[in-house]
Structure 1
């Protein structure tokens, strides 16, 4: 049974999991050291719990207790009760959803666990957490099998990534690559056609790639590049095919999450 604890001091040392949630460098260090992540909002807290992640504690405005009663009654954790102003002092931002949960991370999934998939999105060094969350949400919602992340890509379990992805990270398999320079070879050896989304004169349109896949169906790994410069020349050079979304009115490209949504819809099996 959970224990309810009313909090009157924002500096209470028991609240370490929740401090300065907008400080990315602090959170990266704290969450890695303690093996935790933060879920924001009643719905996402429920999804994390239902996916098998173990709760460490909850930080709630009292009005959210009833909505999380099932988790609370099943867990031996502390539930810290705060008003909205106290929550803001602790976390560093207005917690408009009124509920935060600290959960234990699970052991990382190895890249090899995704090699049996049919459709993978592969993210090279995409560092914006909202983009990573949105891409995972697109892949999950549009029927893809998983997301593979280069070593320097943003953390899918960072609070903003989870929030943007509406908790899709809890249901869609994802993993990190071991070797940025050579792991595309592992995909190819695993039977994937490696398709790089990039602006290049010899690229296929998305429609042309769809036509090829209808004639020769098979496994597909779709490479998505960084927010600024796109895919590296190293990755483009290793791809089996380069593909683009045709654009109009002098616009050369879309935000990476928007491009992923279009491509995942068009290329889904």
Structure 2
């Protein structure tokens, strides 16, 4: 058990993992380099621990001591107790959930490793918005996708906002990077997957007509908000598919589109 220790100095080195959490560029560079990520809120912290991530430390305000008592009891890492104002000063924002944990990252698996046991995977290109990325992971977990593959320029699924939006689903769905891009898509095809590129283009086949749920192995490709998949990614796909639209709407938010497409790929 780790007995909580009160910290009153925002410059205390024990709080170093939590400094400047709103500085996206700083955290994007620092967290992978130092092998850490931040879990925010009771449910997310518990899900990270259940998924086998090791805790480096925890930062709490007093009102969360009771709620997190069992986690504190089991923790083999230091627990820092701070006032809400100090937590805000250190992190850069109002920590309304009152509980943060610094967790150790695990080594990322190779794409071939997670493809070997999968039948339904999502392939994401250029998704840099952490909220969209977290939403896609949440849908992938809820709708039964087996894995997520990311182009090298996709955002970090373990960045705090992505983890928070996914409600910890990033811990439940295996993921890997595909590099070099898009040449590494060949490895997905060699593994037996049909590459389906989601696009609003008129030449694309409606999802219902494509019947992706009947494929032995399907890899659904999605691009970033706005521009969608690049022409190189589209050229690498086996087939272009689309979600039919009505009432003059030409596309959906990528998170919403992913949820619809994941259902179409996994249903039946």
Return the TM-score normalized by structure 2: 0.96
* Counterpart Cα distance in 2 of 1:181 and 1:262: 24
Kept after mapping to 1: 8 A contact 2:195/2:237: yes
Larger CA deviation: 64-73 vs 230-239: 64-73
2:261 corresponding residue in structure 1:
263
| Number of aligned residue pairs | 266
* Counterpart Cα distance in 2 of 1:34 and 1:14: 15
2:125 corresponding residue in structure 1:
124
Equivalent residues in 2 for 1:187-266, closer than 5 Å: 187-210=188-211, 213-214=213-214, 217-266=215-264
Kept after mapping to 1: 8 A contact 2:213/2:266: no
* Counterpart Cα distance in 2 of 1:169 and 1:241: 28
Q: CA deviation at 1:239?
A: 0.8
Q: CA deviation at 1:228?
A: 2.3
Kept after mapping to 1: 8 A contact 2:178/2:185: no
Q: RMSD of the alignment, in Å?
A: 1.2
Q: CA deviation at 1:71?
A: 2.3
Q: Secondary structure at the match of 1:151?
A: coil
* Counterpart Cα distance in 1 of 2:76 and 2:198: 47
Pair 1:213–1:59, CA change in 2 (3 A): closer
1:18 corresponding residue in structure 2:
18
Q: CA deviation at 1:229?
A: 0.6
* Counterpart Cα distance in 1 of 2:20 and 2:248: 41
Q: CA deviation at 1:213?
A: 4.7
1:97 corresponding residue in structure 2:
97
Q: Secondary structure at the match of 1:185?
A: helix
Q: CA deviation at 1:74?
A: 2.0
Kept after mapping to 2: 8 A contact 1:111/1:178: no
Q: CA deviation at 1:69?
A: 2.2
| 1:110 matches 2:105 | no
Kept after mapping to 1: 8 A contact 2:133/2:157: yes
Kept after mapping to 2: 8 A contact 1:3/1:76: no
* Counterpart Cα distance in 2 of 1:10 and 1:145: 42
Kept after mapping to 1: 8 A contact 2:61/2:98: yes
Larger CA deviation: 145-154 vs 194-203: 194-203
Q: Secondary structure at the match of 2:4?
A: strand
* Counterpart Cα distance in 1 of 2:152 and 2:34: 20
Runs of 4+ off more than 3 Å: none
2:64 corresponding residue in structure 1:
64
1:211-253 CA-to-partner distances (Å, cap 9, x unmatched) read x653xx3100000001121001011011111011111222211
1:112-136 CA-to-partner distances (Å, cap 9, x unmatched) read 1121210001100100011111101
Q: CA deviation at 1:197?
A: 0.5
Q: CA deviation at 1:108?
A: 1.0
* Counterpart Cα distance in 1 of 2:128 and 2:37: 17
Return the TM-score normalized by structure 1: 0.95
Equivalent residues in 2 for 1:27-46, closer than 5 Å: 27-46=27-46
